[in-house]
Structure 1
Amino acid sequence: MAKTPSPCIDVCKFKREGHCIGCSLTKAQKSMFKSLKKESHRVGFLHMLTAQQERLGKYSHWDLAYRKKLAKRKIAAEKLL
Structure 2
Amino acid sequence: MSKKVPSPCIDVCKFRREGHCIGCSMTKSQKKLFKSIKRPDHQEAFVQMLVGQQGSMGRYTHWAPAYLKKLKKKKAKVKFTLTD
CA distance in 2: counterparts of 1:12 and 1:49, whole angstroms: 15
CA distance in 2: counterparts of 1:43 and 1:15, whole angstroms: 25
State the match for 1:80 in structure 2: 79
Identity in percent: 57
Report the CA distance between 1:25 and its aligned residue: 0.1
Matched residue count: 79
Which residue identity does 1:23 align to in structure 2?
C
CA RMSD, aligned part only?
0.9
Report the CA distance between 1:2 and its aligned residue: 3.3
In structure 2, list runs of 5 or more residues that go unmatched: none
State the match for 1:39 in structure 2: 40
CA distance in 2: counterparts of 1:61 and 1:55, whole angstroms: 15
Kindly indicate whether the alpha-carbon contact (under 8 Å) linking 2:6 and 2:76 is maintained by their aligned counterparts in 1.
no
TM-score, reference length from structure 1:
0.93
Higher helix share: 1
TM-score, reference length from structure 2:
0.90
In structure 1, list runs of 5 or more residues that go unmatched: none
Structure 1 residue ranges (4+ consecutive) displaced by more than 6 angstroms after TM superposition: none
Instruction: Select the structure with the greater relative contact order (CA < 8 A; seq sep ≥ 6).
Output: 2
Which residue identity does 2:29 align to in structure 1?
A
The within-5 A match list for 1:1-81 is: 1-76=2-77, 79-81=78-80
Give the secondary-structure state (helix, strand or coil) at the position aligned to 2:16.
strand
